[in-house]
Structure 1
Amino acid sequence: MPGGRRGGGTWNQYNVILFSPAVAGESGLFRVPAAGGSPSAVTTVDAARGEMNHAWPVFLPDGRHFLFNMNREDGSAIYVGDLNSPNRVRLLALEMSTLDYAAPGYFLYVRNRVLFAQPFDAERLALAGDPIRVVEIEGGGAGAAAFSVSHNGVLVFWGGAAPRSEQLTWVRRNGVRIAAIGPPGAYFHFSLSPDERRVAVTRYEPGEKGLHTAIWLLDALQGAPTKFTFEWGVGMPVWSPDAGRIVFASAREGPPTLYQRPAGGQEQEESLLKGGDNHPTDWSADGHTIVYEVLDAKTKNDLWLLPLSGERKSVPFLRSPFNETGGRISPDGLWMAYTSDESGRDEIYVTSYPEPRGKWRISTEGGTQAEWRRDARELFYRAPDWKLMAVPINSGTRLNAGRPRALFEIPPDARPWLQGGVDQREYAASSDGQRFLIGVPVGEESSTPLTVVVNWTAELKKK
């Protein structure tokens, strides 16, 4: 199932596969025969009751009942579902987590980076005692966690590794390093302010092993860092064209959605959207429109526009059976560059704006993370081999794009799965396109092996 962020699947003894097509966005659970066929709905999201998403299902021993996560506006919880009935039973409140079931009667979940085994009566479909702490474990965001159990008593888990530390560094078009900005940190997705005086970065918080993120602002001249957000699960900052405000995604109330706040941090922030799975990708040069990605169970990732005047009613810009991500409006307001996998892999395309009429493929061998030069005469993107590409653009009533040319290689990220969101920015271009901000790895990366525990339930009796 290419594209998007899937919400887990499970396979029973009757060769029925139960799955969630998306870890966020309004999606229920679906079933499909293991031999293939058309998926059919098993659970549906009841928006009237505040339901937002169903994910991470796991079958119970009878092959009919299953556990799953239900994400609601008032919080998440684990439920029991039934293939043959719409009825579901709530078991316990829990933030989104991967689930698994193990004989003789436990289901496993992760809370605050700790793996727990919950005694469970699979015949009565009821809790059978207090949860038992098993081990500290790593998580990958959106409820994903690196563990699994087998039916013969084997547990395997990954203890995790700290995300890579990087030094934000200015480089020339030939890749020669010019100057560093601020202290090193576990950064990803950084955004350069239009006046080039500050950099907004998403940073893994120290000690959290990549689970919790916050936005920090770095002074591009003096390098001094200032913390911008203080709740966990925040990232993907995008500057307003006057550098006065920042729109970002926050998962404080469920799947991430959009908020904006003054860059000075003094005034109260404003919620821009409710519900969904939304990440901002651009703010138009005239200041009137925010571009953002929406994850939809049927159409995958789509590009939407949020007007900042009038009724502020969002409208779809690109919505197809394929993934459209990373929308960037040209500085002259005539074009939209974006990434699509309609060819079978990610490529860079440009279409007209504000109405998408026609499209031109810009990349030749794959690409993501499109970025315009300030005069709209050049378009940059990252190729699959991590080279930063530059494409000359001549536009009028029709777009004319030249041949892509490699500038230099961006240091590859060895663990992109740790990062949240789709349109993750690993470079930023100066207004004249002569300098680029990239993250240069600092120190050596460490890795943690998988741990396998045989007869792991015997250890529970000792606790």
Structure 2
Amino acid sequence: MQLTPGTKLGPYEILSPLGAGGMGEVYRARDSRLGRDVAIKVLPQHLSSNPEVRARFEREAKTVSSLNHPNICVLFDVGREGETDYLVMELIEGDTLGQRLAKGPIPIPELIRIGIQIADALDRAHRAGIVHRDLKPGNVMLTRSGAKLMDFGLARATGLAGPGSGSGVTIDGLTQSPTVGHPLTAEGTIVGTFQYMSPEQLEGKEADTRSDIWAFGCVLYEMATGKRAFQGNSQASLIGAIMTSEPAPISQFAPMSPPGLERLVRQCLTRDPDERWQSAGDVRRELEWIAGSSSQSAAAMPAVPGRRKKSPRGTIGLIAGVAIAAAGLAYAFGPWNSRPGELPLVRFMIESPEGATLKMPAETAVSPDGTMLAFVAGDSVGDSHLYLRPLSSPDARIVRGTTGAALPFWSPDGSMLAFFAEEKLLKVALDGSTPVALCDAPDPRGGDWSTGGVILFAPNNQGPISRVSANGGTPVTVTRVDKSRGELGHRYPQFLPDGNHFLYVAIGSGDEVTTFATTLDGGDPEEVLTTGSMGRWTEPGYLLFLDTGVNSARRRLLAQRFDAGSRRPVGDAVLLVDPVSSSNFGYPNAATDLHGTLVVQHQSRMHMRLTWRDRSGATVGVAVDDITAGGGALSPDGKLLAYGDNGTNDIYIRDLASGVATRLTFEGKRVNNPLWSPDGRTLAFSRIKGSAGWDVYTKATDGTGPDAQLFQGPGLFAFPMDWSRDGRWLVAQCADTTGNYDLWKIPMDGSGEPAVYQQTPAQESGASLSPDGRWILYNAVEGGKPGLFVQSFPEPGAKYQVALPEAVGSRWSARMDEILAANARGEIFSIQVSTESGFRQGATRKLFSVLPPDNFVDIERGEQRFLMATPVEGSGGSRLEVVLGWPLLIAGQK
């Protein structure tokens, strides 16, 4: 049945036809509620008329709708109008990959970029238990923002059966009919398009994620060569080719293709599923490796995909061991006596020490002679430590006395390390001595140590750069934050070779940051570079920097020739590594030495499983099986979860019963701290401003109206903390111009302007308002010790300290007779309280412990269940890539 313009399907009005296929007609339509155009696919009536097929379809469509990913076409809604079943999807403008391939093969850099995006989308779906089953160029859209994978799970959901007679559904010439009364994808059913189907699918066996990997290999092959991997003049000959023949080498059609791509595709097209790549995430990481390998030697490094149920750690260790041995030979022949950049090009990966987790973003430093790597990693209880690892050995050791360490950097002679911990700048000798505190550094942002015995450092997240003697003393300010240029602070100082000039980055309200050069005596700053990050100087005379800002989903490390004498860039920048992870604000996570060693971090997106735990800590249910967010906020009725998605950088609201997630914001800028209004109609949240800092915004939860800026704090950061039950007050945690945190109260009834609740040096944070609005519960640091306090509200008056050492977070119960609080060790406590006459504390009882990597998310109304986030196994991994002789990557591009 063809629909005419003007036809209404629920709130959607048909505008025009977009196309038709075996799965039904597709139309452009208008969503009258949200005022946006969408794509509507109307299902064939012979499928809609079967209740079993329709019910199964609706269930699986809900699962597909949860795949919030920038490279997956979003399924917004499933509806039925009369006898018409339909899907509402994101309207995507662009050509299909199939249309692009009609013009010929795709250049290798573009192929790898598209391939990484498709693999990342597949990985996200596979983690949610969804197999595409019909991956082909026609199901990939190419848009200005990247590739989009289409029709996820629809073949599975509609229950197409194998070849048969009667009224069928045609997909690319393959006639199929629904199997009524049987599982929609039961064994013996052939689902997909022949040219891209795996051998097990052609045999009628159940397809799994590795079937999609076969199809992906076929797509990659076609992108590289312009030809299909398997061809035949008939269905029978095509099936025979898939089952018995091997595609011609990619190099036969694309001689300049990297050997690593040939190996990757061959591994995708192995007939035995157990011998293929075992996850799309593995394929994506291999493509990223190829992207960063600009030389034949790097691309040809052996990579062995793990068999099913086999840990990749042993394989990675083997590869790293070979590379380390090669590195050891280079060291043995004395590169320290040669000119910088003369190391041979060798690349290998380093994983975190057993039982530890690399800091993300990475905090690494290569020793001046290039033999040692210092890095920060967290232990099993969440404490960070400084580790040392020789680059010629796989063994790393903790540096004693460095609990809480951050941002290490070396002394010029390599005998000591400086680092930050417990609001201090410290140094430690490598002979096992106890660390020595040099001066205060309340909220540091990097440092550097000169041959003249001077240390430059940023003591706060906003404010100027300071200098101090390497022997300690009183710091002296050496830069001035220029408010007229919109500067908010200076960070990450780095000495240039003369020991007098240094670089630093100025963060501000723009999306990019500016690197300046100045002198130790505070001379006028010289602008050096404006880009996505600070420019980091390194021998042999380059600046390393990121090409995109903090909201970009993909960041590349570039190298720019730099004259340290004139402090001017020379020539054009060239690509070093793509992609790399980075710090949140303005610093490329790239450590270098004087001899051509580069260390960068690679990390995969963290996927979390949200579970319910009772007051004993026992898991009593799963709220969300897979989500790319580590936190969120439950709606007042507990039915919805608002969260910031790590893939799109926007706010989503997820129905916990149906699993359907609706995108609420569309700015693509990083968001944080969602907070519901008491009536559930409005959401407050923080959004990143420019290259640093956060402001508070609000948005109607039904999607109407704009994102409205509610509050801009006096300094860099403003985060919404709690909303009074009567809706009158919103409390925010804000940094002042010195970086000190205070609590602010924002009247939501229009009765006045935002005002600081109280201004003290005690670093107040984490506020919770009592249900009657008379008390505020918050954390503060008084006398150098963190504590939990209760004080009258809205005006500060009577104040009481809650007896719970090291408290870091807390919440009032709905009945106001209990405070639920956590300490720094992850222990959750129930504290009995009374507020009838002042404030009195009763018994304290430990409920359970939350150990890393688990995170607390929210508490269900009634305080009987806690929502917790646990990383999905295999996601969020972080590794360090070591590139010896990295200047050869530049030489290879000339």
Match of residue 237 from structure 1: 674
Is 1:215–2:645 an aligned residue pair? Answer: no
Match of residue 838 from structure 2: 398
Q: Deviations over 1:424-448 (max 9, x none)?
A: x823222221222222343345644
Q: 1:262: how far off?
A: 0.8
Structure 1 counterpart of 2:771, from 331, 352, 361: 331
Question: TM-score, normalised on structure 2?
Answer: 0.47
Q: 1:246: how far off?
A: 1.0
Q: Measured at CA, do residues 339 and 116 of structure 1 come closer, stay the same or move farther in structure 2, by a change above 3 Å?
A: same
Amino acid at match of 1:294: C
Q: 1:296: how far off?
A: 3.8
Is 1:63–2:505 an aligned residue pair? Answer: no
Q: How far apart, CA to CA, are the structure 2 residues paired with 1:278 and 1:216?
A: 21
Structure 1 counterpart of 2:582, from 131, 135, 139: 139
- 2:528/2:569 contact within 8 Å kept: yes
Deviates more, 1:317-326 or 1:133-142: 317-326
Q: 1:177: how far off?
A: 3.0
Partner of 1:63: helix, strand, or coil? coil
Q: Measured at CA, do residues 328 and 343 of structure 1 come closer, stay the same or move farther in structure 2, by a change above 3 Å?
A: same
Is 1:105–2:541 an aligned residue pair? Answer: yes
Q: 1:144: how far off?
A: 4.3
Q: Deviations over 1:162-195 (max 9, x none)?
A: 32x2222223222333332244112222111222
Partner of 1:459: helix, strand, or coil? helix
Q: Measured at CA, do residues 447 and 427 of structure 1 come closer, stay the same or move farther in structure 2, by a change above 3 Å?
A: closer
- 2:500/2:519 contact within 8 Å kept: yes
User: Which aligned pairs between 1:115-194 and structure 2 lie closer than 5 A?
Assistant: 115-135=557-577, 136-163=579-606, 165-194=607-636
Is 1:10–2:453 an aligned residue pair? Answer: no
Q: How far apart, CA to CA, are the structure 2 residues paired with 1:198 and 1:20?
A: 41
Q: 1:368: how far off?
A: 1.7
Q: Measured at CA, do residues 6 and 272 of structure 1 come closer, stay the same or move farther in structure 2, by a change above 3 Å?
A: farther
Structure 2 counterpart of 1:52, from 488, 493, 502: 488
Q: Measured at CA, do residues 149 and 171 of structure 1 come closer, stay the same or move farther in structure 2, by a change above 3 Å?
A: same
- 1:299/1:321 contact within 8 Å kept: no
Question: TM-score, normalised on structure 1?
Answer: 0.87
Is 1:32–2:468 an aligned residue pair? Answer: yes
- 2:509/2:689 contact within 8 Å kept: no
Q: 1:343: how far off?
A: 5.6
Q: 1:252: how far off?
A: 4.1
Q: How far apart, CA to CA, are the structure 2 residues paired with 1:30 and 1:159?
A: 31
Q: 1:379: how far off?
A: 1.0
Q: How far apart, CA to CA, are the structure 2 residues paired with 1:74 and 1:234?
A: 16
Tell which has more relative contact order, 1 or 2 (C-alpha 8 A, sep 6+): 1
Paired residues, number: 443
Match of residue 422 from structure 1: none
Match of residue 382 from structure 1: 822
Q: Deviations over 1:90-146 (max 9, x none)?
A: 223223x35432122112122342222221101111111111211132123223443
User: Which aligned pairs between 1:258-277 and structure 2 lie closer than 5 A?
Assistant: 258-274=696-712, 276-277=716-717
Match of residue 88 from structure 1: 525
- 1:9/1:20 contact within 8 Å kept: yes
Q: Measured at CA, do residues 363 and 215 of structure 1 come closer, stay the same or move farther in structure 2, by a change above 3 Å?
A: farther
- 2:479/2:522 contact within 8 Å kept: no
Q: Measured at CA, do residues 46 and 273 of structure 1 come closer, stay the same or move farther in structure 2, by a change above 3 Å?
A: farther
Partner of 2:583: helix, strand, or coil? strand
Partner of 1:381: helix, strand, or coil? strand
- 2:460/2:738 contact within 8 Å kept: no
Partner of 1:140: helix, strand, or coil? coil
Q: 1:85: how far off?
A: 3.5
Q: Measured at CA, do residues 162 and 151 of structure 1 come closer, stay the same or move farther in structure 2, by a change above 3 Å?
A: same
Match of residue 99 from structure 2: none
- 2:696/2:720 contact within 8 Å kept: yes
Q: 1:407: how far off?
A: 1.6
Q: How far apart, CA to CA, are the structure 2 residues paired with 1:199 and 1:392?
A: 28
Q: 1:270: how far off?
A: 1.0
Q: How far apart, CA to CA, are the structure 2 residues paired with 1:190 and 1:121?
A: 47
Partner of 1:189: helix, strand, or coil? coil
Deviates more, 1:188-197 or 1:173-182: 173-182
Amino acid at match of 2:584: G
Match of residue 420 from structure 1: none
Q: Measured at CA, do residues 74 and 100 of structure 1 come closer, stay the same or move farther in structure 2, by a change above 3 Å?
A: closer
Is 1:289–2:729 an aligned residue pair? Answer: yes
Q: Measured at CA, do residues 140 and 124 of structure 1 come closer, stay the same or move farther in structure 2, by a change above 3 Å?
A: closer
User: Which aligned pairs between 1:412-423 and structure 2 lie closer than 5 A?
Assistant: 412-413=852-853
Q: How far apart, CA to CA, are the structure 1 residues paired with 2:799 and 2:475?
A: 32
Deviates more, 1:357-366 or 1:332-341: 357-366
- 1:31/1:39 contact within 8 Å kept: yes
Amino acid at match of 1:362: V
Name the Cα RMSD after superposition. 2.5
Amino acid at match of 2:598: L
Q: 1:380: how far off?
A: 1.0
Q: 1:310: how far off?
A: 4.6
Is 1:246–2:683 an aligned residue pair? Answer: yes
- Structure with higher strand content: 1
Q: Measured at CA, do residues 87 and 311 of structure 1 come closer, stay the same or move farther in structure 2, by a change above 3 Å?
A: farther
Q: How far apart, CA to CA, are the structure 2 residues paired with 1:214 and 1:5?
A: 28
Larger radius of gyration: 2
- 1:182/1:224 contact within 8 Å kept: no
Match of residue 198 from structure 1: 640
Structure 1 counterpart of 2:888, from 451, 458, 462: 458
Is 1:43–2:506 an aligned residue pair? Answer: no
Partner of 1:48: helix, strand, or coil? helix
Q: How far apart, CA to CA, are the structure 2 residues paired with 1:166 and 1:73?
A: 32
- 1:100/1:148 contact within 8 Å kept: no
Q: How far apart, CA to CA, are the structure 2 residues paired with 1:72 and 1:299?
A: 14
Is 1:437–2:867 an aligned residue pair? Answer: yes
Amino acid at match of 1:140: S
Q: How far apart, CA to CA, are the structure 2 residues paired with 1:305 and 1:33?
A: 42
Unaligned runs of 5+ in 2: 1-420, 424-441, 549-554
Q: How far apart, CA to CA, are the structure 2 residues paired with 1:377 and 1:203?
A: 35
Q: How far apart, CA to CA, are the structure 2 residues paired with 1:302 and 1:145?
A: 30
Q: Measured at CA, do residues 325 and 73 of structure 1 come closer, stay the same or move farther in structure 2, by a change above 3 Å?
A: same
- 1:22/1:297 contact within 8 Å kept: no
Amino acid at match of 1:70: A
Amino acid at match of 2:556: V
State the percentage of identical aligned residues.
Answer: 28
Q: How far apart, CA to CA, are the structure 1 residues paired with 2:731 and 2:739?
A: 17
